[in-house]
Amino acid sequence: MKKVLKWWMAACLLFAVLAGPSVAKADNTTLETASPIQINQWVAGKMGDAGSRYYRFQMPAAGTAQVEFRRKTEGITENYWGVDFWGYNAQDERYDTMTFSEFHCVKTNSHFLPEVGVTAGTFFVEVVAGNYSDGNVEYEFRVNVKAAADWEKEYNDSIAFANPIVLQSGKTSSINAVSMTAYDRTTDQDYFYLDVPKKGYIQYSLSVSRNLSDSGTWTADFHSKEDEIFCSIHCDNQEELEAKSACIGVPAGRYYISAGTLWSNASFEKYKLEVYYQEASGWESEPNANYKKADAAETDQVLHGSIHYYDDLDYYRLDVLQDGNYRLDFRYTRDKESGCFWAVCLENDSGESLESWTCYENKDPETYVPVSLKKGVYYIIVQGNSSGPSTGDYSWSMKQNITPGTVKKVANQSKGLKVTWSASAGANEYILQKKAGSGDWTDVTRTAKTSYLDKAVSNGTKYQYRVIAAAGAARSAASSEKTAWRLTAPSIQTKKAAPKQITITWKKNAKASGYQIQLATNSKFTAGKKTYTVKKAGTVKYTMKKLKWNTSYYIRIRTYKSSTSYVSAWSKAVKVKTK
């Protein structure tokens, strides 16, 4: 079908070039006697005593049509020509009184009406000669038509005739349109409908081109079929050329966007409407402006929403399943320029306010409020409070307020690093995290115990550990970090006894700073204990002198890093007797 349409349009253009302007019949002074014309072909006409000349043409398929007009008679400057483009609406079998586009022509050069998106069907061009009645005044025009899938289709002035905007999750859909302003300053409104397949959120934008000579303001409202407006955005053609809404959480269903001029000095202006849809859970479902329409929420769940104008209200019904200390976290988009602020209220099931606070958008974008709650039903109410609309999204959650534990010790053992931490009230699990060198934090394990042996460590590497207390999905903040170096223990290779001295050797650990040797007269290293420090990692031999004659000693060795602050586990002890 598209190939046929392109071929047909190309043929029309070629015919127009070869044949030149066609001449319309002379009795086309009423709508019923309108002259049939071909698209993309010049039409010549002459204005006599009649006030109007009418022409009709067929659109073979949906696309855009643009009237190009020029007056051929020179020397007339005190009078004007009017050109109207309008259509026949087959949906309700009536002639539209709405003019799609119009202009006044006072010069002989070409003038263009704006491109107008239309459906297939019958359309009309009316040429009006103002107060000029000389029958010798000539003109010519043509209707330039092209295929276009991304344009509105007039006459879409109500919900009943709304144009579709097809949505795909994770993608932006766009459509072009023209908004007209009539001479009585009434404005054109265009309606579009969106079928949201699954729960998620919508974000849309409206943009126009800069026009410094004719100012105007445009608006686009997102609303339900019942005309309940969820969001309204505005832009103008001189300073704020584009406006973008906040993200609007909605359930599956049909919604509408009505767009057009609030007011304008321009007769017409093209605008572009873009709609982004994302399937997503955890979002509010507009409308939720009272207790009956409140969105369901649970503790430890993160929910997202947005306030679109100063008296917008979002209600959430919160089910708390157990008594405890909780923390309400509220986060929002930071926008230093808007000066908006939001009022947030926590109520019980009887409507009694328990906590309320204000979140300022130009300050810290995170607010934490500790609350003590009993098992039961509560309501979170978010309200905009500004002199103008807010475009920032927000999120909130009610989590159990669990204090983090403390990492008490990180010790080298033969098979890895053993981490020990303190217990936290209200927690039933702990998430141990580590960072190797300057890398990122990663989860090591989730356990109900308060210690863990981390075997996934490398000799000579610096590690940091922290712990997060958890109760179900609720988490505490992370604890402070504790640092350790992983150091493998050396083993004693040889031992040699001499009178009052013992010499040992061991395998070199190049990642260490040095070694510590310990000597004692019992295997528990509690009697006659002496410690020797070897300060070079390259040294692998040491002699312990001034020992007792003919005495048995137990000897062990370990590595250290950074002035003995971090040490490996002790090696296996060996027994040696002096001579």
Q: How far apart are CA 34 and CA 125, in angstroms?
A: 9
257: β partners: 192, 222
Q: How far apart are CA 156 and CA 118, in angstroms?
A: 9
Identify the band that residue 273 occupies on the pLDDT scale cut at 50, 70 and 90. very high
Identify the band that residue 136 occupies on the pLDDT scale cut at 50, 70 and 90. low
Q: How far apart are CA 141 and CA 47, in angstroms?
A: 13
Contacts of 18 (CB under 8 A, 6+ apart): none
Q: How far apart are CA 136 and CA 133, in angstroms?
A: 9
Identify the band that residue 266 occupies on the pLDDT scale cut at 50, 70 and 90. low
Q: Establish whether the linkage from the previous residue to 287 is cis, with ω within 30° of 0.
A: yes
CATH code matching the domain that covers 159-279, chosen among 3.40.50.970, 2.60.120.380, 3.10.20.90, 2.170.8.10: 2.60.120.380
Among 282, 275, 387, residue whose Cα is nearest residue 340: 387
Residue ranges covered by each domain of the chain: 2-147, 159-279, 295-400, 407-485, 492-577
Q: Is the pLDDT of residue 528 over 80?
A: yes
DSSP assignment letter at 479: P
Supply the pLDDT for residue 260. 82
Contacts of 79 (CB under 8 A, 6+ apart): 106, 129, 130, 131, 132
Largest CA distance in the chain: 140
At 339-361, the pLDDT tens digits run 567 788 999 999 899 988 877 66
Average the pLDDT over 118-131 and give the result: 80
Q: How many residues does the chain have?
A: 579
Q: What is the CATH number of domain 295-400?
A: 2.60.120.380
Supply the pLDDT for residue 265. 59
Structure tokens at 78: 């005190």
**Alpha carbon distances (Å) from 512 to 19, 35, 48, 437, 495:** 95, 99, 106, 16, 22
Greatest mean pLDDT range, 46-50, 176-180, 362-366, 561-565: 561-565
Contacts of 211 (CB under 8 A, 6+ apart): 237, 238, 266, 269
Q: Is the pLDDT of residue 152 over 50?
A: yes
Supply the pLDDT for residue 555. 96
CATH architecture of 407-485: Sandwich (2.60)
Q: How far apart are CA 235 and CA 212, in angstroms?
A: 14
Residue scoring higher pLDDT (408 or 122): 408
Q: What is the CATH number of domain 2-147?
A: 2.60.120.380
How would you class 170 by CB atoms within 10 Å of its CB: exposed for 0-12, middle for 13-18, buried for 19 or more? exposed
Identify the band that residue 17 occupies on the pLDDT scale cut at 50, 70 and 90. very low
Structure tokens at 312: 């917008």
Q: Is the pLDDT of residue 98 over 60?
A: no
Element (H, E) at 3: helix 2-19
Q: How far apart are CA 351 and CA 354, in angstroms?
A: 9
Q: Is the pLDDT of residue 31 over 90?
A: no
Q: How far apart are CA 322 and CA 543, in angstroms?
A: 66
- Identical fold between 159-279 and 295-400: yes
**pTM passes above 0.75:** no
Picking from 3-17, 184-198, 375-389, 541-555, which range would have the lowest pLDDT averaged per residue?
A: 3-17
For tokens 């989590």, name the residue.
399
Q: How far is CA 529 from the centre of its chain?
A: 66
Q: Is the pLDDT of residue 280 over 60?
A: yes
CATH topology of domain 492-577: Immunoglobulin-like (2.60.40)
Q: Is the pLDDT of residue 520 over 90?
A: yes
Supply the pLDDT for residue 149. 85
- Residue ranges in 87-231 assigned as alpha helix (H): none
Q: Is the pLDDT of residue 250 over 50?
A: yes
Task: Say how many C-beta atoms besides its own lie within 10 A of residue 413's C-beta.
Answer: 13
At 183-195, the pLDDT tens digits run 444 467 889 999 9
